[in-house]
Each structure stands twice: as structure tokens, then as C-alpha cells.
Chains A and B, each alone.
Chain A
Amino acid sequence: MDFQVVVLAGGFCKSLVPLVSKDVPKALLPVANRPVLSYVLEHFEENNLKDFIVVVEGENAALLVGGWISNAYVDRLHVEVAAVPEDVGTAGALRAIDHHLTAKDILVVSGDLISDIPPGAVAAAHRRHDAAVTAMLCSTPISGPSESGSSGGKDKAKKPARHNIIGLDPTKQFLLHVAAGAEVEKDIRVQKSILRAVGQMEIRADLMDAHMYAFKRTVLQEVLNKKETFLSLRRDVLPYLVRSQLRSELSQNGAVAEENGNSKGVSDSTIMLSQLLTNASTQSFHELYALGSDGSALSPRKTHKCCVHIASKSNYCVRLNSIQAFNDINRDVIGDASHLSGYSFSPQNNIIHPTAELGSKTTVGPHCMLGEGSQMGDKCSVKKSVIGRHCRIGSNVKVVNSVIMDHVTIADGCSIQGSVVCSNVQLQERVVLRDCQVGAGYVVSSGSEHKGESLAKKEKQ
């Protein structure tokens, strides 16, 4: 496949403080004891895509990510790590690595995407229609897998507003309108010209932009160069392409003329053929529109296509972009979506590393994970939680619906619920945490109780 994969791995995402820190950029946050980035890379690897450009914001983060990648994938994948300045936005990041892009089509994927949707499906949809851009959409979880109590706490109630407003053609192959729900003030403004060309548009609010796009390289580069103010792929580039699909401004300059040449010149004959091959009974509205109403337009109009691939509801697709999502994903990966974890589960439906030690009367329930070399004292109980490597956990400790990262020390009698405890944290005796986040290296003094708090060392960057 002539696709280049660009993974936008972000930097130190502010919304994930205190989980991320100087030493742990977003891409390296552990999900079931593996960096989140590994899910993307391995998922693509399974689909035979092995060339990556990983774009990281900030030199420091890039070093960390690069170091980890070269350790983990040195002989398996061909990965280039590129550092870009912080806050350049997704479009800015691509602009910065412009010269690395060589393939005909570019797959851009967010590094925090945990999904089992084959990227091949997106690529295929993209190629089938010779599209300028193809976006992957997935159904938003209506209520999420949050029957358990933990989600109540730190949910910032952002979810309902996060939905995108997506306009699709009746065949659900083309993207006709896109706007983020939260950003639409009152009215949904739909372009009449597109609607006229298509006839029917389905407007949906239950789809989410999964941040995996396939771009035609020439198109992407042209847009990025021409529209210097575009910062974000999702907010600027994609809407722009969708908006202008029937009066394409692309291909006016030389770079794309060649591309359009081969798509127009060849396609006149091949469109029909490919249409027959793909079983499409009618031409897409783009071609009809381009030819004019009676097929005898004075000058063929320039159009480009924006396609979508809609993942089926059974697929898993979540982005790690909030603390809530971090909790949910960790739970899902060792729970409902366990096929993503890449581990094999024990008959008890959990994973306990052989080197982990459990004290007497300690129970580890299903949907749990206990990392390498961790020790637990007596009478502990772990439910639906992930515990990292080399943790030392005392006796009478309860861990429910939580994520404990590596090298955490938990003294006797602690109770942890719905919380995230980062690496090297020390919890002294009888600490009670509920819906908290504890930043790396923090020490929680004995006997203290915290609820819905974010605890971290004061570190001024």
C-alpha cells in the first residue's frame, strides 16, 4: 500500500495533567501497562503498515518518545520521530514535516487513538473514490461503558457537547457537512449548493470524528501551503475541504494540475469502469455536478471528494484525551475490549504476571492486571484495576476501578477507588482516595482522605 502513516503523538497535553509530566508525555501514558502510542503502532503493524512518521510536540517529549520507540520496535518498524514546536496545531505539525511526505496518500492518525478499526477500510474507501480526504467516523458511545460508579466523579460533563454534526449523503460514503457540536452556536448551516447536488443529506449527531484521516498528499500540501492560518486538521482543513468540494479551489496551481490531470484524464474513462467494478449503479453526485445538469456544461466544474468510513458499532474506538477517557480505556482494554490489549487472559479473566507476588487471602478479580514484579500483601482486594510493574502494596489494601502505574508504594490499609496513581507515588498508611489523580512522585501522607482531587507536586515549568 502506498500510504504513509503520520502519527500525531502530541506533547504534554494540558488536559491530562497530572497524569502527564515532564518525564511522561501523553504518548507514553500507560494503557494496561503499555504506552498508548504502542496501540496505534501495533494496530497499523498488524495491517501491514510499517512506515511511520511520529510527530511529537516539543523536543524533550520527542526524545522520550523516540527513545522508547527505538527500544521497543527497533527491528520491527521503520519509524521516524519528528519534533515540532508546541502549540502549532495538527495542521501546523503536518506543515512542519511537509518535506517528509512523499507517498501518494497520507494516513494521519492521532497517537491517542485506541481502536480496532482496520485502517485498511479507511484507505480502501479513500482509494475507491479517489478522494481528496477520507475521514473515519465512529459511533459515539451513548452512555459509555460506565455502569460502575467510578465514572460519576471526574466526568467533566463534556461528553454530550463533544459530538460532531456530520452531514452524509444517502449512501453514507461522502462527507457533506462537518461541524463540531460544541462549536455550533445555534444554527446548523448547510450549504444549499451541496444539498442541491446531492438531493438528500443525512445530518447526524451521533458520530464522532475518530481523528484518522486519509489525505491525498498533493491536496494536503496545497491546502497547508495556501491557507497559512489553518491550525487544526479537524477544525480548519477538513471543514474547508468539505465546504469547497463542489467548487474546488485545488488544482489551480501546478502541483495539483498534474494530479488532477491524471485523475481527470484517466478517470473519464476509468470512472465508469471503476464504478462498474465497485458495483455503484450511479455516478457519484460529484461527477454529475461537474458535468452540469444535462451533461453538457460549458466548462466542467472542479470538484473533489470527501469520503467517510463509518466504523460499525461493534468496533472499539476511543481517544485518550481526558482523564475520564484514560480511566475508561484502561478499564475497557482489560475488560470489554480485551482483544486490544494483546495479552492472553487467565481463566479468571485477569492477567497476573508470573513474577508478581500475592499475599494470603488477597484476591484479584476479573478484568484486572498485575504487572511484572509487583508485590501485594495479605487480604488485599483488586477489582477492575490495572496495577503496574514493581509496585509494592501492603496489606488490607483495596483497589477498585483504578489505575496504578509503575513503582508505586502503597502502605497498609489504603483504599483506592476510581483513581489514577502515577509512577513512583507513595501512599502512606490508611490513605483513602476516591476519584483522584495523583501525579508522579507525589507522597500522600498517612490517614488522609481525598475525594475528586488532583494531587501533584508543584512543579513550575
Chain B
Amino acid sequence: MVGKKGGSKGMGVAEDAEEELARTPLQAIILADSFTTKFRPITLERPKVLLPLVNAPMIDYTLAWLESAGVEEVFVFCCAHSKQVMDYLDKSNWFGQPNFSVTTIESHNAISAGDALRLIYEQHVIRGDFILVSGDTVSNMSLSQALKEHKERRRKDSNAVMTMVIKQSKASPVTRQSRLGTEELFMVIDPETKQLLYYEDRGDNLKGYLSLDKALLTYNTSISLQNDKQDCYIDICSPEVLSLFTDNFDYQHLRRDFVKGLLVDDIMGYKIYSHEIHSSYAARIDNYRSYHTISKDIIQRWTYPLVPDVQFFGNSATKLERQGMYRAPEIKQSSSSKIGPFTVIGSGTSIGNNTEISNSVVGEGCSIGSNVTIESCYIWHNVTIEDGCKLKHSIVCDGVTMKSGAALEPGVVLSFKVVIGRNFLVPAYSKVSLHQQPIKQDSDEELEYADNSSGITESPSVSGTLDLLNEEERTELPDSQEYEVGDGGVGFIWLVSEAGQEEEWRHSVAPIPVDKLVEIMQISNDETDLPNEDGAFLPPSGELGPDSITNDSNEDAEDIRDDSVIFEREVEATFQRAVEEDVTDDHVILEVNSLRLSYNMASADCAGALFYSVMKLALDAPHDSPNELYKNVVSTVRKWKKLLKYYLSSIDEEIEVILKFEEMCLESAREYSPLFVQILHHLYDQDIIQEEAILDWASEKEGAEESDKIFVKQSEKFIQWLKEASEEEDED
């Protein structure tokens, strides 16, 4: 039936659409640019997707996976070093595969994933649902299940625009980052529909709690809050995603802007779903740590069939030996050298006497001398390591030469063609490059936006001066300074910014040093202990009843939402400033009036707030006894009488003032309660409050509850006296 109707267009729209879905070849977009600078300085010379991962460029993993997953058309979006990417693809056999077409899209000015997708949208090449991945994804998951679910949801609800692939992976409770070196991720997922309801990958670590909108629970009786998942950055998207990026031209980042934007926006009602994979592998190389972790996973065959001994593409096959040792056929290895477990040696590499290599990847055409120790390193192609070098937890790029006796401390990255001098010790976490560290962002290199989370950002504002100094030095003495990497060495050691240094160990290839772990643990212990002292931590969602005694902070937090309270505070602040700076009454009135307008308050509110401020002032003045307090009040009131009078144009306002006073006595300023009558009398004497107001107030209170009548009772005599006085007047 499908075949028959395939070509005709004159049928129901829905059916048509459905068929279209079936007909469109499965498309994928690979972003061959991560739009970050985490792999600098390496990425100054080569795009990230072409960096070798266990001796094969990253993008090959991505392409091989997509091909095996049944994707038919791939668009590779190139931006940084686009020429290199395109050249590589040209030379590789990816073009011209049957049933798998690869097309490149080039841009020179895209600075974010958002820009890339907007550009792709303009090209009108995406016709149906597509897979969106970046070119550094390693996976062996089958897409069919996720795609099926996505399409089924789409059929029912056209607003289900995206399905995100997630995988179980618990972030370390200590460092709060996953094994891939990414920040811990908090998600809320509807357990029934798997809809994503909340996504937070850059939580504020200072806050000990997570705030979820209560509205999440209005439609679902049960939601699942997850902290043990990892975002694989594999998204199955509907074509709407592209247009959404175009509509929201400020969307830059896929997660921070797009996903969060959709989750917050409840007008359009677009929905994002999650698909959890259990047995298959999916991960993205985001930083050096994930480079290390994923390399290990590949060597340990979690990514099968994308492993070194299977020729999935471009890579030359190596032979798997016991203990996870892979060796290419043509290597020259001294019989006295030792190759440890989980190590890959590329073809054409020679290894000298008594050299030990373990847990490492060595590329093609390297020559490694004698008595060298290599532990957990990633040595790329054509590297020369002379005798007696020691390498630990480092990345060594193509063409590097390490002169004899040189050593690398953990976390070092040697970029292309660097030469490390004889017996030179490269300090931990240094990055060495032939390029000088840029002091400004280069526009068409990898760029990042202000809110990049990476700790290695070279933000000029922070480290600017330091960098500048060094830079000047360098430019002044270009050659004579002989670089910084030892005798006969070539290369600059990049400085990391102050803040970066702190975080460097987090994303490095080296394991996190023990002392750091201890340090963090201490901090986290302190953190969790902190709230112990402070009961107000977690002003917890109604854990304290409204009538319990310890809810001050709770109340404050709630009240802030209340406009009138803000108004009151503003007025108080204004008044205080007036007191301190000796501002004239007129100016205060002007300011209060403008506040009144902006908060839409009545003049009674102004009167109340001002009165409150005046009384507060009197209260704040030093006093020891109620008597002194009363004196304070008298003097303060005398000083600000004019101001008070200004807002007391009618009885209503005066009543408001009395009510306010009463409230103060009950709550914020209990010291006043014994003085209530005295002060009221004073206010009456000063003509601030007229007797009518007092009488009205008293009669208003008549019907109130007993507890509300304390002050009426207190002032009974005074009221009585007022009444008699007025009667006498009447008689007169």
C-alpha cells in the first residue's frame, strides 16, 4: 500500500506527513567544532575532531557509528580549521560510500552551535528527523529504538521536538564531576513518559539545595529527580529544532540555551524527551579527562566494534594480545622492553632497550629510546622520545621531540612539534605549544562565549596583566630567550589564569591527586556541616509551620515576594539615607512619592511606612530604659514631624499609622509595647494624630479578637479621656 501511494500527493495531509517521515532518508548533523577552547593549545593547529583517539581521528568514530546505525546522509558542519576537516574527509574514503553520503557545510563566522544550526536551516537540507551530534562522539548505540520512540511521540504530539540520549553514570560525590570530567548533572524526568522536565548541568555549588518549580507536580503525581545520569550529547531532533534556533536568534548553546529555553517556555509547549541507554556505549570527548577516559574505554573494548583491532575505518588494524595489549604488525621492539597492559602501539614505531610502557597509546612512526618510562600517556604520531625520558599521564602530540632525560609531570600537554630540552622537567599541568598564548580571542579559531564553563578560559580581564607582561617579554626577546622548555627546547609554556589553575586538575588527563581529593572532601564536609549551625539553611518548604516560633527567616523569604514589604523596605532605606545624609524633607517626599508610584501604593501606605521608619530610627538610637526610648521617640518625632504630617492628610492615613504602630509593638519592635499609650498620647499632643483617628481605631477594633485588642485595652483610659473631652466640646 505504501508503495502504491508513494508518489501521489493527493491524499490526507496527516497520512502524507507520515509517509514523508518514512521516505526521508535518515539524516545526521555532525558539528565538527565544539565551539570551546578546552583542547587548546592543540586545537590552535588542528581541529578537535581530527585529533587521534587511540590512533584514529575522532570524527572517524562518529562517522563509523552513524553509518552502522543506519544514517544515510550526514552533514558535517566545519568551522574552525574547516579546510583541514574538509581535506581530511576528501582524502578519506567517507565520500563515495554506498548509502552513506557525507556533505560538508563550511562556515567561517559561526561561533556557537546555535549559529551552526541557523546556518544549516538556511540551507534547507534537513527534511525530516535528524540526529544531532558533535564530531567527537564515540558510541555504538543502536538508534533504531530511540528513533522509533521519537517518531511515535511525534505522531501523537507534534510538540515533542527532541529526544536526548542519556546514560547511567554517577558523578563522584567528592569532586562532583562525572568520570568524563563534566559537571554533575541534575535532571527531572517524568518516570512514565520520560519527558525531560528540568535540566541543570551547571548547578550553583554554593547552594545546598535544588529548587524545583512546584508546577512540575501539578500535572504529574510523580517525578524522578536524577543525579546519576550523563548526557551523551546525542540528540534526535525534529526539523522544528532548526527553526527554533532561527526564531530564537540568541540561542547559542544546545543545552544551556536551547534545552533550558524550551523547558522554561510554557507558551509554545515544546517538549523534550529522554532515552536512556543501558548496555551500549555513548560518550563525548569534552575535555582532556574525557579524552583519557574514553581512550581507556576503547582499549577495554566497551565501544566494540569501534576498537583498535577492528578496522572500522581509516585506522590500521592492530592485533589484540593478552591483557589488552594491541600491537600493530610492523613495530620494532627491543626484547628487553616491556609493554604493560592496556597499551596500544601503532605501526612503524620502534622501542628501545629497557623501556617500559603501560596503560598508554603510542601512535605510528614514533621512535622511543632506551630506558624510557611511559605511564598512562597518549603519544601521537611521529614522536621522538630520546633515552631516559620519563612520561606520566600526559598527552604528546605529533612531531614532538623529547630530548634525553626530559620528564613530564602528570597532566602535561605537549602540542605539535614542541621540543623539550635535555633533562628538562615540565611541571605538572603545563601546556606547551609552538604558538604563543594569545592574549586576545582569535576570531576564527575556536571561540567561546562569555558563559563558557571551562576552567581554562583565558579571560583577559583576570589574567590579562600577567599575560601581558610575559607577552611583552617574549616579543622583546624573541630568540634570545630560548623559549622556556630547556636546553635546545622549542615551545612556550602556556600560562593558565589564576582561576584556571585551581580547576586544571579537574579536566586534566592525570588522575586527581590524592591531596586534592582530601582537600575537597574536607571542604564538602565543612559545607554540609555549615547548615548545622545555621538552622535557617533550607528555609524549608513549609517545614516550619506558619505559627511556629522559629520561622523568622522563612517568613522573610516569603515576604520578599510581597510588594508592600519591598516598598516598606525601600521607604525605610530612603529615610535612613535622609537621616544619614541630612536630606531635606522635600527631597524625601519626592523620593517616597516616586516609590509610591512605582509600587502602586496608596498614600496611607506611605504614611505607614514612613512612620515605621521614624520609629525604627528612634528604636535604633541607643537607649537603656523604656524612659530613654520614649525620649528618643519624642526627639525623633519632633525632627521628622513635618515629614510625617505631609502624608497624614486624612483620618484614614492616621488610622493606618496607629495600626502600623500596633503591628510594630506586636512584632518587629516589642520594646514599644509598654510605651504604646504614652507614645500615642505624644502623637496626639503633637497633632500628628487626631482624636478622631484614635476613636475610629478603637471602635474598629471593637469587633476584633481578644488578642488583637491588647493595645485598645491599654489605651482605654486615654480613649475614655478623649471621648469625654470631645463630648465636653460638643456640649460647648
Contact = CB atoms under 8 A, between A and B. Distances in A.
Interface of A: 165, 167, 178-193, 195-206, 229-232, 235-236, 239-240, 243-244, 246-247, 249, 289, 292-293, 297-298, 301
Contacts of B208: 191-193
Contacts of A231: 545, 548
Interface stretch (B149-157, B166-174, B421-429, B479-487): B166-174
B358 to A, nearest CB: 22
Contacts of A243: 538, 540, 543
B541 A165 contact: yes
B728 interface: no
Contacts, number: 146
Nearest to B549: A229
A204 to B, nearest CB: 4
Given A183-B543, A192-B186, A200-B226, 12 more contacts: A167-B225, A185-B214, A188-B214, A189-B211, A191-B210, A196-B176, A247-B528, A247-B529, A247-B532, A249-B532, A292-B521, A298-B518
B225 A190 contact: yes
B280 interface: no
Given A231-B548, A236-B544, A293-B172, A190 B210 contact: yes
Interface residues of B, number: 49
B548 A187 contact: no
A92 to B, nearest CB: 11
B225 A189 contact: no
B184 interface: yes
Interface string B166-193: 0000111110100000001010100100
A289 B174 CA distance: 11
A229 B174 contact: no
Contacts of A301: 525
Contacts of A292: 174, 521
B543 A186 contact: no
30 contacts: A167-B225, A182-B542, A183-B541, A184-B541, A185-B542, A187-B212, A189-B210, A189-B211, A189-B538, A190-B210, A192-B227, A195-B186, A195-B225, A195-B227, A196-B176, A198-B227, A201-B227, A202-B222, A203-B223, A204-B221, A204-B223, A229-B548, A231-B545, A232-B545, A235-B544, A246-B528, A247-B531, A293-B172, A297-B521, A301-B525
Nearest to B548: A231
A202 B172 contact: no
A239 B540 CA distance: 9
B209 A200 contact: no
B538 A191 contact: yes
A196 B521 contact: no
Contacts of B545: 183, 231-232, 235-236
Nearest to A185: B558
A179 B542 CA distance: 6
B228 A199 contact: yes
The interface residues of chain B, by DSSP majority, are classed as loop
Nearest to A202: B224
Nearest to B168: A199
Contacts of A204: 221-223
A232 B542 CA distance: 12
Contacts of B228: 199-200
A297 B212 CA distance: 31
Contacts of B225: 167, 190, 195, 200-203
Contacts of B546: 183
B213 interface: yes
B210 A235 contact: no
Contacts of B172: 293
B184 to A, nearest CB: 7
A297 B174 CA distance: 11
B216 interface: yes
Contact of A289 (B173, B227, B538): B173
B214 A187 contact: yes
Nearest to B215: A186
Nearest to B211: A187
Interface string B556-591: 001000000000000000000000000000000000
